[in-house]
C-alpha cells in the first residue's frame, strides 16, 4: 500500500469542496482513504471544517478517525458537537478507546454523553473503565473479548464464540474461565477445530497463559508484551477474574509516549509538551533546567575565579577549559544514556558496584587514549611545556573516569528509589560534570604545577 502524503494542494482542494458544499466529491475522496490519513487531513483544518467532514462521513468510519485526532483539537471539536453526536461516535468504538476519548472531559459533560449511549452494556463497560488510572493495565484494557467456560463442550463453545465475536473487531485469543469467571487458561483454535464437538473445554485448553493485574503499571504491561511477543494479554482483578484484555496497538502507544517523555527529560524539559503549546507552558517546561544550568555555570565560574594565581602564572591553562568541560559532559551523557536505556527495557540489572567497576575500566581506557592524543596536540600545536601537557592529560583521565562513574551511579540510584532515571541524562549530568570537571582540572594543576 502506497504511503499517504499530505500536501498543501490536498488541503486546498478539500477546503474548496467544503466551501462549495461539494459533498459527493468529498465522500468519493474519503471513501478509499484510511481513517488515519483522514485524521491527518482534519488536523490541518479549522474546527468548523472538521465538524463538517465528521457529520458528512458515516459514523462507522468517523469513530476511528476521532481516535487519531490530536487531543487538543478533538476537545475543541467536542465543544461544538452535541452529547448525542459524541455518544453515537463512541458506540462504534471499543470500550477502551471510548473511555480514553471522554476521560478528560468535565464530569457533567461525561455523564451527559454516557446517558445518550443506547447500548446499556457498552455504556456500563465504559463507566467501569473510567474508574482506572490511565497509566495502569485497567486504564489500557478493553472489555471486548472472547471467553468460554471450562465446563462447556466444543459445540456450545463454538456457538457462544460466534455470538461474542460480533462485538470484537479482532479475535486474538480465546480465554477459558470457570463458573466464577476466574481465568484458567487459553484455547487453541487448532485444538478447537480438530477435536470432537462432544469434548469438554477443560480437557483441551492450555492452562499456561500470561496475564496482568488491573493495577499493574502500563510500563510493566508493555515490557511483558514486548518480551513475549504477545498480540494481546488478558487482564484480571485481585481475585484473578477475567475483566478485559489489552492489545498490542495500545501498548505501542504506551511505548511511544514513554519514549517521548524520556527524550524530553533527557533534553531538560520537565513537562509533557508539544511544539504548538503556549509560550507559557513551554517556558514552565524548559526554564527549571535552564536555571540549573545557569547556576552550574556560575559555580564553574566561581571555581575558575578561585584559581586566579593559576591563570596569572599559567595562562595556557585557559585554552583547555572547553576541552575539559565538553569531554566531561559527553562522557557523562554517554554513560547515563546507556544505563537509562538498559533500565527502561530491563536488559541490565541494577547492581551498582558491578556497573561502576565496568564504567571505571571503560572510562580509564578511553581517558588514556584521549590523554595520549592531547599530550601530542598540546605540545606541538599549542607549544605547551611538558608539565602543562602532563597536567591536562592527568586531568582528562580523572575527569573522564569521574564522569563515567557519575553517569552510571545517578540513574541506578534514582531507579532504586522509584524515580524516572531519564532525568539523570542531559542537562543534569552535563552541568554536574562541567562543575566537577573544572574543579578536578585546577586541583590537579595546583598539585602538578605547584602554584
> How many residues make up the chain in this entry?
451
Reading the block at residue 436, the C-alpha cell is 566537577
Q: Are residues 154 and 292 in the same domain?
A: no
Distance (Å, whole) CA 141 – CA 139? 6
Q: Is 343 among the domain residues?
A: yes
Q: Are residues 165 and 87 in the same domain?
A: no
Q: Are residues 386 and 432 in the same domain?
A: yes
Distance (Å, whole) CA 8 – CA 41? 10
pLDDT tens per residue, range 39-61:
999 999 999 999 999 999 877 78
Those residues whose C-beta lies under 8 Å from the C-beta of residue 311, and which sit 6 or more positions away, are 304, 317, 318
pLDDT tens per residue, range 340-355:
777 766 666 656 677 7
Estimate the crossing angle of helix 120-129 against helix 107-115, to 10 degrees: 160
The residue written with cell numbers 502524503 in the block is: 5
- Alpha-carbon Rg for the chain in angstroms: 30
Distance (Å, whole) CA 147 – CA 83? 33
Nearest Cα to Cα of residue 183 among 131, 238, 126, 135: 238
Q: Are residues 75 and 37 in the same domain?
A: yes
Q: Are residues 319 and 445 in the same domain?
A: yes
- Is the CB of residue 89 less than 8 Å from the CB of residue 62? yes
The residue written with cell numbers 593559576 in the block is: 310
Distance (Å, whole) CA 201 – CA 153? 6
Calculate the dihedral angle through the C-alpha atoms of 148, 150, 155, 160, rounding to the nearest 10 degrees: -20
Nearest Cα to Cα of residue 320 among 402, 379, 403: 379
Q: Is 401 among the domain residues?
A: yes
Those residues whose C-beta lies under 8 Å from the C-beta of residue 426, and which sit 6 or more positions away, are 265, 266, 267, 268, 289, 333
Distance (Å, whole) CA 153 – CA 157? 6
Q: Are residues 320 and 208 in the same domain?
A: no
Instruction: Specify the pLDDT at position 351.
Output: 65
Q: What CATH number is attached to the domain comprising 208?
A: 3.10.580.10
Q: Is 440 among the domain residues?
A: yes
Three-state secondary structure of the chain? CCCCCCCHHHHHHHHHHHHCCCHHHHHHHHHCCCHHHHHHHHCCCCHHHHHHHHHHCCHHHHHHHHHHCCHHHHHHHHHHCCHHHHHHHHCCCCHHHHHHHHCCCCHHHHHHHHHCCCCHHHHHHHHHHCCCCCCEHHHHCECCCEEEECCCEHHHHHHHHHHHHCCCCCCCCEEEECCCCEEEEEECHHHHHHCCCCCEHHHCCECCCCCEECCCEHHHHHHHHHHCCCCEEEEECCCCEEEEEEEHHHHHHHHHHHHHHHHHHHCCCCCCCCCCCCHHHHHHHHHHHHHHHHHHHHHHHHHHHCCHHHHHHCHHHHHHHHHHHHHHHHHHHHHHHHHHHHHHHCCCCCCHHHHHHHHHHHHHHHHHHHHHHHHHHHHHCCCCCHHHHHHHHHHHHHHHHHHHHHHHHHHHHHHHCCCCHHHHCCHHHHHHHHHHHHHHHHHHHHHHHCC
Q: Is 259 among the domain residues?
A: no
Instruction: Specify the pLDDT at position 195.
Output: 83
241: containing domain: 146-247
Q: What CATH number is attached to the domain comprising 52?
A: 1.25.60.10
Q: CA torsion sign, 205 to 211 to 214 to 218?
A: negative
Q: Is 3 among the domain residues?
A: no
* Domains: count for the chain: 3
Q: Are residues 319 and 358 in the same domain?
A: yes
pLDDT tens per residue, range 380-396:
777 778 888 888 899 99
Q: Are residues 290 and 397 in the same domain?
A: yes
Q: Is 271 among the domain residues?
A: no
Instruction: Specify the pLDDT at position 269.
Output: 56
Burial (Cβ within 10 Å: 0-12, 13-18, ≥19) of residue 15: middle
Instruction: Specify the pLDDT at position 131.
Output: 92
Those residues whose C-beta lies under 8 Å from the C-beta of residue 376, and which sit 6 or more positions away, are none
Q: Are residues 157 and 69 in the same domain?
A: no
Instruction: Specify the pLDDT at position 396.
Output: 92
Tell me which residues of the chain have a pLDDT lower than 50: none
Q: Are residues 236 and 308 in the same domain?
A: no
Q: Is 264 among the domain residues?
A: no
User: Among 247, 271, 294, which residue terminates a domain?
Assistant: 247
Instruction: Specify the pLDDT at position 332.
Output: 84
Distance (Å, whole) CA 38 – CA 189? 36
Q: Are residues 356 and 385 in the same domain?
A: yes
Distance (Å, whole) CA 36 – CA 18? 20
What is the b/e burial string over 83-96, where b = at least 16 CB atoms within 10 angstroms of the residue's CB?
bebbbbbbbbbbbb
Q: Are residues 106 and 150 in the same domain?
A: no
User: Among 247, 270, 302, which residue terminates a domain?
Assistant: 247
Q: What CATH number is attached to the domain comprising 339?
A: 1.10.357.20
Distance (Å, whole) CA 143 – CA 224? 20
Count other C-beta atoms under 10 Å from residue 427's C-beta: 22
Amino acid at each position: 500500500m502506497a504511503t499517504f502524503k499530505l500536501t498543501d494542494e490536498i488541503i486546498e482542494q478539500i477546503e474548496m469542496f467544503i466551501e462549495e458544499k461539494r459533498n459527493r466529491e468529498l465522500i468519493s475522496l474519503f471513501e478509499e482513504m484510511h481513517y488515519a490519513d483522514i485524521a491527518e487531513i482534519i488536523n490541518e483544518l479549522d474546527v468548523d471544517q472538521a465538524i463538517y467532514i465528521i457529520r458528512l462521513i458515516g459514523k462507522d468510519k468517523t469513530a476511528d478517525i476521532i481516535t487519531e485526532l490530536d487531543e487538543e483539537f478533538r476537545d475543541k471539536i467536542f465543544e461544538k458537537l452535541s452529547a448525542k453526536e459524541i455518544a453515537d461516535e463512541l458506540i462504534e468504538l471499543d470500550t477502551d478507546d471510548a473511555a480514553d476519548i471522554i476521560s478528560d472531559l468535565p464530569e457533567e459533560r461525561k455523564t451527559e454523553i454516557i446517558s445518550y449511549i443506547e447500548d446499556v452494556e457498552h455504556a456500563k463497560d465504559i463507566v467501569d473503565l473510567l474508574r482506572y488510572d490511565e497509566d495502569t493495565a485497567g486504564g489500557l484494557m478493553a472489555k471486548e473479548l472472547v471467553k468460554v467456560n471450562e465446563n462447556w463442550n466444543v459445540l456450545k463453545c463454538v456457538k457462544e464464540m460466534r455470538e461474542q465475536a460480533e462485538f470484537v473487531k479482532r479475535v486474538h485469543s480465546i480465554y477459558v474461565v470457570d463458573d466464577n469467571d476466574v481465568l484458567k487458561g487459553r484455547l487453541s483454535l487448532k485444538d478447537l477445530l480438530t477435536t470432537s464437538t462432544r469434548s469438554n473445554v477443560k480437557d483441551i485448553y492450555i492452562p499456561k497463559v500470561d496475564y496482568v493485574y488491573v493495577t499493574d503499571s502500563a510500563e510493566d504491561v508493555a515490557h511483558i508484551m514486548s518480551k513475549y511477543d504477545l498480540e494481546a494479554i488478558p487482564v484480571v482483578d485481585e481475585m484473578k477474574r477475567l475483566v478485559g484484555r489489552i492489545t498490542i496497538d495500545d501498548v505501542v502507544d504506551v511505548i511511544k509516549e514513554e519514549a517521548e517523555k524520556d527524550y524530553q527529560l533527557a533534553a531538560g524539559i520537565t513537562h509533557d509538551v508539544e511544539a504548538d503549546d503556549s509560550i507559557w507552558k513551554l517556558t514552565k517546561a524548559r526554564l527549571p533546567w535552564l536555571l540549573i544550568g545557569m547556576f552550574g555555570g556560575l559555580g564553574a565560574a566561581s571555581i575558575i575565579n578561585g584559581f586566579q594565581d593559576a591563570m596569572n602564572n599559567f595562562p595556557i591553562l585557559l585554552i583547555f577549559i572547553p576541552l575539559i568541560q565538553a569531554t566531561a559532559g559527553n562522557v557523562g551523557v554517554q554513560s547515563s544514556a546507556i544505563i537509562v536505556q538498559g533500565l527502561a527495557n530491563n536488559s541490565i540489572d541494577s547492581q551498582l558496584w558491578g556497573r561502576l567497576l565496568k564504567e571505571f575500566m571503560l572510562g580509564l581506557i578511553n581517558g588514556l587514549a584521549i590523554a595520549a592524543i592531547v599530550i601530542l596536540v598540546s605540545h606541538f600545536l599549542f607549544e605547551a611545556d611538558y608539565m602543562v601537557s602532563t597536567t591536562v592529560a592527568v586531568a582528562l583521565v580523572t575527569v573522564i573516569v569521574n564522569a563515567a562513574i557519575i553517569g552510571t551511579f545517578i540513574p541506578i540510584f534514582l531507579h532504586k528509589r522509584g524515580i524516572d532515571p531519564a532525568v539523570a541524562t542531559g542537562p543534569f549530568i552535563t552541568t554536574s560534570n562541567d562543575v566537577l570537571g573544572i574543579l578536578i582540572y585546577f586541583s590537579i594543576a595546583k598539585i602538578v604545577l605547584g602554584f
